[in-house]
Amino acid sequence: MSKRSVQAYIEEVPSWEGGARLAGPPLSGMQWLVWSLATAGKFFEGLIVFMGGIALPLVAEQFAMTSADKGLVTAATLAGILIGALALGGLADRFGRKPVFIGEMVLLALALVGAAFSTGTVQLVTALFVIGLALGADYPTAHLVISESIPAAVRGRLVLGAFSFQAVGAVLGTAIAAVVLSSDPNLNAWRIFYLLPVLPVTLVVWGRLFLPESSHWLVSQGKVDKAEKQLRKLLGRNDVELLALEIAEEGRIQRSSDWRSLFRGKLQRATILASVPWFLQDISTYGIGIFTPVIIAAAFGASAKEHTVAAVIHNDLLGARGTALVDLGFLAGIACAIALADRWGRIPLQIIGFVGCAVGLLIAAAGNLGGQTNLPVIVVGFVLFQFMTNLGPNAQTYLLAGEVFPTPVRGLGAGLAAATGKVGAVLTAFLFPILLADWGTERLLPLLAITSLVGAAITWAYRIETTGKAMESI
């Protein structure tokens, strides 16, 4: 048998005597295990970050927080994701995908326990920051683990399928928070939010111990023998003999795989496409996502406006229930993204999604015109926004960031893109409570709509379509 590249083996379609062939490359049990365990990071991010929005009023009341304190609490996890994606994601290029893939979940479990037993604002902010570090490392690493293990024809669907678990986590987190608050309405309920994920995270750590290392990465490091062994484990076959050609082709990048290489030559275009739209979409996505409970609770009419513990819990529960409705748009959008990403392409969906986000935000803003609150209009606007952001930029920026860079700097590039996005998220999380109080939704939401339109323009100007292309050829 002649030697072939890693991707050629992954793309191979079995045939039998008589010419019978499958329609596409089959996935082995190990490939499905890789995918299922890669969904965990996005699931836990959705669960923890969006449950944190419901925990915020309870924590703020218990710790007597100022507006600035609230901003720090909401920004802490996102700031951690920023640093984790930037600093820890790049470690996957140096030490391999698997060690980072395991270590990030260990760190997450420890930080969740720390958050649950926090006794003050400083301790909680620190624990939430470490949670963010772990989730940030998973941004590039989970994408690489999936995309370097599966055929190009289904890469978009499976990567976005894993990403969709962020929506599942968000909806489930909102539902869990509502149930916990209903059954145990006291200020300490927020601690349960952070304790519940600890056991599932521990199980994910155990599962990831059995996964193979990326053969793409091993070949890029010159470890062809190890790459063959790991590819046999991934595909469940013994007849694997790899080319070492990728080493010569990618060696130039490998020798200069620092941050500067991402801003030179062809990589500069990839860096702009992967980073700037992600920054712009996170400004609105996280602002709306985290503070939807607060906005919805206020719009519901404030049957409990007096400032008492019972009123805080009552309004928080209203917000949680309203958010569960809005999050249905989250699930519907990501489901459509999975179905269409490998058909319509990444770039068209990202542009359509950005424009749709702007429309949804403007509709929501119209629900507050003239000082009159129109709850149905606000909910329709938020549902449309959630649908369009998950059909487009929230899903496609994640997908593109793990595809547009070559193997030796894929973790570095994807990590930089995720970190750039989280700069927007951190700014929004910290400033949103202040701007919401000073400006109101009628002024703030149109401003967010403008950032979405700019995101559509940048996507078109720096477009690189990766749909259906093998990872070695991008």
What confidence category does residue 302 fall into, taking pLDDT thresholds of 50, 70 and 90? Answer: very low
pLDDT score for 332: 86
What confidence category does residue 325 fall into, taking pLDDT thresholds of 50, 70 and 90? Answer: low
- Closest by Cα among 304, 307, 326, 328 to 317: 304
pLDDT of 250 > 50? The answer is no
What confidence category does residue 63 fall into, taking pLDDT thresholds of 50, 70 and 90? Answer: confident
Q: What are the chain's domains?
A: 28-461 (1.20.1250.20)
Tokens of 85: 């994606």
User: Range with the lowest mean pLDDT among 143-147, 166-170, 191-195?
Assistant: 166-170
The mean pLDDT value for 236-250 works out to 65
pLDDT score for 392: 92
**Residue ranges with strand state E in 330-435:** none
The Cα–Cα gap between 410 and 439 comes to: 41
pLDDT score for 61: 82
pLDDT of 121 > 80? The answer is yes
The mean pLDDT value for 196-204 works out to 95
Residue-wise pLDDT for 396-406, tens only, equals: 998 898 888 88
Residues 82/422, Cβ–Cβ less than 8 Å = yes
Residues 382/329, Cβ–Cβ less than 8 Å = yes
The Cα–Cα gap between 101 and 363 comes to: 41
- Closest by Cα among 7, 9, 81 to 45: 81
Residue given tokens 């089959």 in the structure block? 26
pLDDT of 256 > 50? The answer is no
pLDDT of 29 > 50? The answer is yes
Q: 252 has which bridge partners? A: none
What confidence category does residue 185 fall into, taking pLDDT thresholds of 50, 70 and 90? Answer: confident
Torsion angle defined by CA atoms of residues 247, 250, 252 and 255, in that order, rounded to the nearest 10 degrees: -70
pLDDT of 248 > 50? The answer is no
Backbone angles phi, psi at 336, to 5 degrees: -70, -35
Residue-wise pLDDT for 34-54, tens only, equals: 999 999 988 998 888 778 777
State pTM to two decimals. Answer: 0.75
